């Protein structure tokens, strides 16, 4: 009997974001197919120098199948963010199926010039078992 099971892939936890491009990889665990439902990412609005920043980040997903799945922007620090909060969270809905053992590479690119000495946190939220394995 197939029951969906929440499984979260953590990636790039507290990794310095080196703009314009940072690459991170994570492997889909063996034993079950896995459907990526959405990406959650957070990024501090305040960089080391103390200035407020609002970089526009884009995520692209590459897999071992050689597919570039998505290229959706996540905008941080935009007008909908409450002023004064130091960290902003955004989610991107996806709904992409992956096979066991598949390596997902996430390319994070930004509009800022040069490296940003801040950290970005990304988690990939999905469900195992939709394909019966």
Partner 1 sequence: MFFMDFATVRRLKARKFAYTLAGSIPAFNGAQAGALELSEAIQQGFHFWSELLSISFTTINSAGADDGVCTLTCQFKDGANQIGMSNTFIDLSTLSAPGRQRAVGLAGDPSNQLAAFIPWPHLYISTGSVIADVRNASNSANLFDATWNGYLIPESSIAQFDAWVNSMAPASPQ
Contact positions vs partner 1 (CB under 8 A) = 1-10, 13-14, 26, 29, 33, 35, 37-38, 40-42, 44, 46, 84-89, 95-99, 121-123, 125, 127, 130-131
Question: In Å, what is the CA distance from 60 to each residue of 4, 53, 104, 120, 125?
Answer: 26, 22, 10, 15, 16
- Beta pairing partners, 7: 126
Which H or E run contains 26?
strand 21-27
Cβ-based nearer residue to partner 1, 19 or 43: 43
As measured in angstroms, the least distance from the Cβ of 111 to partner 1 is 20
Shortest distance in whole angstroms from residue 84 CB to partner 1: 5
9: which DSSP letter? E
**Closest separation between CB of residue 130 and partner 1, Å?**
6
Question: Would you say 120 and 41 are in contact if contact means Cβ atoms under 8 Å apart?
Answer: yes
**Closer CB to partner 1, residue 113 or residue 127?**
127
The residue (of 74 and 113) whose beta carbon lies closer to partner 1 is: 74
Nearest to partner 1 of 50, 113 (CB atom):
50
CA dist., res. 123 & res. 39, Å (int): 6
């Amino acid at each position: 009997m197939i029951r969906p099971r929440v499984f979260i892939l953590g990636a790039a936890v507290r990794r310095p974001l080196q703009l314009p491009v940072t690459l991170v990889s994570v492997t889909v665990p063996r034993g079950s197919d896995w459907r990526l439902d959405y990406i959650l990412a957070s990024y501090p609005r305040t960089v080391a120098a103390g200035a407020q920043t609002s970089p526009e980040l884009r995520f692209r997903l590459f897999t071992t199948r050689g597919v570039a799945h998505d290229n959706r922007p996540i905008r941080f620090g935009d007008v909908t963010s409450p002023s004064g909060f130091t960290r902003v969270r955004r989610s991107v809905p996806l709904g992409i199926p992956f096979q066991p053992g598949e390596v997902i590479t996430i390319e994070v690119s930004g509009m800022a010039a040069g490296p940003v000495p801040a950290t970005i946190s990304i988690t990939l939220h999905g469900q195992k078992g939709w394909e019966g394995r």
